[in-house]
Amino acid sequence: MASSPSRRSILTLYKNLIRESEKFPNYNFRAYALRKVRDSFRTNQKLTDKKERITQYNLGVDNLDVIRRQIIVGNLYKSEKLVIENLRKN
């Protein structure tokens, strides 16, 4: 059986998920991905069961791959920025 992921590897995964989520060109997808990552890590913060920790870690790694693929697709089909995005820059 695989060993439980270390605290360092979990934090690295979290940072990578946040960084990649910020790259979404679409505001709505970006906000959803950031919220989902933060909520998932907050929910699973207190996990003590080794199997469940491994399962959630592997799910996070899979989600990182999905986010990276979706960013590529999003960059292929860019749209105009929303009004709210233009307001935040000023």
Domain coverage including residue 16 = 7-89
Residue 2 lies in a domain: no
The Cβ of residue 67 has, within 10 Å, a number of other Cβ atoms equal to 20
The dihedral sign for the CA sequence 77, 66, 13, 29:
positive
Condensed to tens digits (0 to 9), the pLDDT of residues 28-42 reads 999 999 999 999 999
Residues 6+ apart with CB under 8 A from 83: none
Condensed to tens digits (0 to 9), the pLDDT of residues 16-71 reads 999 999 999 999 999 999 999 999 999 999 998 999 999 999 999 999 999 999 99
Number of domains composing the chain: 1
Residues 6+ apart with CB under 8 A from 70: 24, 29
Whole-angstrom distance, CA of residue 51 vs CA of residue 69:
27
